[in-house]
C-alpha cells in the first residue's frame, strides 16, 4: 500500500509523512529528496540550472519509481506534483494508493512559509509578506482543483501533528 500526501508547500507533507510512516510501520519517501538524490542536486539548483520543465520530467520519473516499490510506503509529494501533466491521473489509477490532501488555509500557509521562503524556489523572490501571501492565495486557488480530487481531505489548521496523524491513520 502507498499513502500519498499532497498539498501546498507548508501544509506539512514531509513532517506529517515521516511521523505517519513511523506510526504505521511503513517506509517513508519525500519525493523532492528522492529527486535530489537521483539528480545529485538540490531542488533549488535543478530549477535554477535546468529549469522547471526538466524538473517536472524528473519528478514524473521519480514518482513512477516510488510507486513501483513493493514495500508499504508513505510518500510526500512536492506541492506541484499532482498539478502537472498526467501525474494526478497516474496516481489515482494505482490500485494500492490512498491520496490524502493536507489542506491548510492561506493564513496558515503564509505563516508557516514566512520563515523559510528563501529556500523554496517559487517563493525565493517574494520578499514582502503581502506579496508572498497574495502569491500563495493565487497559487493555491490554481492548484486546489487538483488537490481536491484526492481520496481524502484532512484539514491541518489549528491541529497538532499528532492530531493530523491520527486522522490520517483512520483513513487506511
What CATH number corresponds to the domain at position 129?
3.40.50.300
Instruction: Check residue 40 and report its DSSP letter.
Output: T
* Sheet of 152-155, strands arranged across: 27-30, 73-76, 2-6, 97-103, 152-155
Give the three cell numbers for residue 90. 497516474
Query: Could you tell me the residue range of the domain that residue 114 belongs to?
Result: 2-169
Characterize the bridge pairing of strands 2-6 and 27-30.
unpaired
CB 62, CB 31: distance < 8 Å: yes
Q: Which residues pair with 154 in a beta bridge?
A: 102
pTM across the whole model: 0.90
Please give the tally of structural domains in the chain. Answer: 1
CB 123, CB 47: distance < 8 Å: no
User: Residue 132 — very low, low, confident or very high, per pLDDT cuts 50/70/90?
Assistant: confident
**Which tens digit of pLDDT belongs to each residue from 106-129?**
989 988 887 654 455 555 555 567
**Which tens digit of pLDDT belongs to each residue from 10-42?**
999 999 999 999 999 999 999 999 999 999 999
Which run of H or E residues covers position 28? strand 27-30
**Beta strands, E only, the chain:** 2-6, 27-30, 73-76, 97-103, 152-155
With a cut of 80, say whether residue 65 has pLDDT above it: yes
**What does the pLDDT read at residue 127?**
57
Cα torsion through 15, 107, 137, 80, rounded to 10 = 0
CB 147, CB 101: distance < 8 Å: yes
CB 172, CB 119: distance < 8 Å: no
User: Residue 46 — very low, low, confident or very high, per pLDDT cuts 50/70/90?
Assistant: very high
Amino acid at each position: 500500500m502507498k499513502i500519498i500526501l499532497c498539498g501546498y508547500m507548508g501544509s506539512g507533507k514531509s513532517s506529517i509523512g515521516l511521523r505517519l510512516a513511523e506510526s504505521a510501520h511503513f517506509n517513508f519517501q519525500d519525493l523532492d529528496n528522492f529527486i535530489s538524490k537521483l539528480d545529485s542536486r538540490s531542488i533549488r539548483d535543478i530549477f535554477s540550472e535546468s529549469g522547471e520543465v526538466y524538473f517536472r520530467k524528473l519528478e514524473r520519473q521519480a514518482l513512477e519509481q516510488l510507486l513501483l516499490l513493493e514495500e508499504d510506503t508513505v510518500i510526500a509529494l512536492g506541492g506541484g506534483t499532482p498539478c502537472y501533466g498526467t501525474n494526478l491521473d497516474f496516481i489515482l489509477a494505482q490500485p494500492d494508493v490512498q491520496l490524502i490532501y493536507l489542506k491548510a488555509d492561506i493564513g496558515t500557509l503564509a505563516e508557516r512559509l514566512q520563515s523559510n521562503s528563501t529556500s523554496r524556489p517559487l517563493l525565493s523572490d517574494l520578499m514582502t509578506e503581502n506579496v508572498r501571501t497574495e502569491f500563495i492565495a493565487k497559487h493555491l486557488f490554481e492548484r486546489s482543483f487538483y488537490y481536491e480530487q484526492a481520496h481524502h481531505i484532512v484539514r491541518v489548521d489549528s491541529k497538532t501533528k499528532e492530531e493530523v496523524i491520527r486522522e490520517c491513520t483512520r483513513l487506511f
